[in-house]
């Protein structure tokens, strides 16, 4: 199984809502990532988890809260988002803890904040 | 100066032609290099890793020039299905993505 799965595929939420994005991989990868991608732009790194511990937080606002319940799962909890947070949110995983490894991406969650 | 730079294109190329992209990076300590392709509204998918000795996978050839700090991707006998955005990715402490080059293969 060489797949990273993400749910939901699409999400529309209001600025007062609380929602969560989910990501799962069963490749035994030890590092997992959240990226944000706006239209016609490259992915921007948000968070890195290495061995289930948060190792990189790229100065992401606190309205985004990551969680890694176990080595296969990665969540992104959303609260009080702004319309400019609308984007494609991509989860990725890589084999090693070092970020030099090639990363495998999930299909993404397309988020719209109203 | 951006850490990883690519010509954004678009490149509009007739089917069967050969097309080449370059990508420059600023961090000389970068360790690993990749080309990803991304179709419209889809996730990036690894196309190939780029090794110092250069590597080839079918119609695709990737080269790395550490002295000049650039990597290249050559696509021969281009197919309609090659139409996508090609992202140059450089790894040091993090993966850094280039802005991508948009390629359209014209029938």
Q: Which residues contact A91 (CB under 8 A, 6 or more apart)?
A: A4, A6, A21, A23, A32, A33, A34, A35, A74, A76, A105, A106, A108
The percent of residues above 90 in pLDDT, for chain A, comes to 80
Chain B nearest-CA distance from A94, in A, is 11
> Exposure pattern of A71-106 as b/e (b: 16+ CB <10 Å)?
bbebbbebeebeeebbbbbbbbbbeeeebebbbbbb
Q: Is B6 exposed, middle or buried (0-12, 13-18, 19+ CB in 10 A)?
A: buried
A81 to A63, A109, A113, B81: CA distances (angstroms): 6, 15, 7, 37
The answer to whether B70 and B23 are in contact (CB under 8 A) is: yes
Q: Which of A42, A56, A101 sits opposite B97 (nearest CB)?
A: A42
Q: Say which range, A10-14, A56-60, A107-111, has the weakest mean pLDDT.
A: A56-60
Confidence class of residue B75 from pLDDT cuts 50, 70 and 90? very high
Residue B76 has pLDDT above 70, yes or no: yes
* pLDDT of amino acid B5: 93
CB contact under 8 A, A105 and B100: no
Q: What is the mean pLDDT of residues A8-18?
A: 94
Task: Encode pLDDT of B94-105 as tens digits.
Answer: 788 999 999 999
Residue B32: HSE in the Cβ half-sphere, 13 Å Cα cutoff: 14
Confidence class of residue A99 from pLDDT cuts 50, 70 and 90? low
CB contact under 8 A, A99 and B98: no
CB contact under 8 A, A102 and B93: no
Confidence class of residue A46 from pLDDT cuts 50, 70 and 90? very high
Chain A nearest-CA distance from B43, in A, is 5
CA distance B32 to A101: 8
Q: Count CB pairs under 8 A between chains A and B.
A: 41
Q: Is A67 exposed, middle or buried (0-12, 13-18, 19+ CB in 10 A)?
A: middle
Chain B nearest-CA distance from A107, in A, is 5
CB contact under 8 A, B95 and A99: yes
Best to test chain B binding among A21, A31, A42 (most B CBs inside 10 Å): A42
Task: Encode pLDDT of B18-53 as tens digits.
Answer: 999 999 999 888 889 999 999 999 999 999 999 888
A108 touches chain B (CB under 8 A): yes
Which backbone phi and psi does A105 adopt, to 5 degrees? -100, 145
A2 touches chain B (CB under 8 A): no
């Amino acid at each position: 199984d060489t797949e990273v799965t993400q749910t939901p595929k699409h999400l529309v939420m209001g600025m007062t809502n609380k929602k969560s994005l989910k990501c799962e991989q069963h490749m035994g990868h030890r590092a997992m990532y959240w990226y944000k991608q706006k239209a016609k732009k490259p992915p921007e790194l948000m968070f890195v988890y290495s061995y289930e511990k948060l190792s990189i937080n790229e100065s992401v606002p606190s309205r985004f809260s990551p969680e890694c319940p176990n080595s296969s799962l990665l969540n992104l909890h959303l609260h009080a988002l702004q319309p400019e947070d609308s984007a494609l949110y991509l989860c990725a995983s890589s084999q090693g803890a070092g970020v030099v490894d090639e990363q495998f991406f999930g299909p993404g969650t397309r988020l719209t904040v109203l | 100066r951006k850490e990883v730079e690519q010509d954004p294109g678009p490149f509009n190329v007739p089917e069967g032609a050969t097309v080449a992209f370059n990508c420059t990076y600023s961090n000389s300590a970068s360790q690993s290099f990749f080309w990803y392709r991304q179709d419209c509204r889809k996730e990036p998918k690894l196309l190939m890793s780029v090794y110092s000795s250069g590597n080839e996978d079918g119609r695709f050839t990737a080269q790395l020039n550490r002295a000049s700090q650039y990597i290249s991707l050559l696509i021969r006998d281009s197919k309609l299905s090659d139409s996508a955005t090609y992202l140059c990715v450089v790894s040091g402490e993090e993966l850094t993505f280039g802005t991508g080059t948009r390629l359209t293969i014209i029938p």
